[in-house]
Amino acid sequence: MDQAIVAGVSAVGGTVIGALGAVFGPLLAQRRTQDHERRTLTDRDVREALEITAHLRTAGAMWERDMRRVLRDIRVGRSVDLREFDDSMRSLEQEMRQSVNRLVAYRLHVSRQVSGRVFLPMGRAEDMLREAISDAHGSPDALWREIADAIREVWSIRHELDEVLVQEISTAFGATMTTPPHRFRRSA
């Protein structure tokens, strides 16, 4: 009878273990799949956030390049079409703003820092350059220096933003990232 009880207990135990395996086995497999998907999504998020950040940085660099080119053109007496200048600046600023807005979807909350620290000095530099375009021959040397200083200020702020973005991405995704070294910029 002891063997019969042991056999019965073993059968019940085997049934319970089998039932638990039937219930928890698929749940465990599903959880592993979800963990893998979550890990894959995070990897994709990091990649997308980095692509958006690169787009933001590229648009900022193009803004700076265009500002410096227009400034040089005016200084050497080339005419600059104000409408083309405005269209170019508006397009680049819009690209930057859209990139900042897209970064918020990845829990990267830099929009207030960007708008206060980048877009206002950009607008100020653009306004001064518009004034110089409108009256290239009557623009005093002080205005040229102010424009060059404003462009340098935006350059500096853009690199501060790079550091903020790297910190935000590192924190949000648990990644270890570094900013590229900043090169010394010559005056405009």
Q: State how far the alpha carbon of 95 is from the alpha carbons of 32, 86, 113, 119, in Å.
A: 39, 14, 17, 12
Amino acid identity at 26: P
Tell me the pTM. Answer: 0.69
Per domain, the residue ranges of the chain are 46-173
Residue whose pair of structure tokens reads 């404003």 in the numeric block: 150
CA 10 – CA 70 distance, rounded (Å): 87
Please report where in the chains the tokens 């200084």 appear, as a residue.
75
Instruction: List the chain pLDDT tens, one digit each, 188 residues.
Output: 566 665 555 655 556 565 555 655 665 565 555 455 444 457 788 788 888 888 888 999 999 999 999 989 988 888 899 999 999 999 999 998 888 888 877 777 665 666 677 888 899 999 998 988 888 677 777 888 888 899 998 888 888 887 777 777 777 777 666 666 555 444 44
If you ran DSSP here, which 8-state letter would residue 187 be given? P
Q: Is the dihedral of CA 46, 47, 53, 57 positive or negative?
A: positive
Burial, 150: exposed, middle or buried (Cβ in 10 Å; 0-12, 13-18, 19+)?
buried
Give the number of residues written for the chain: 188
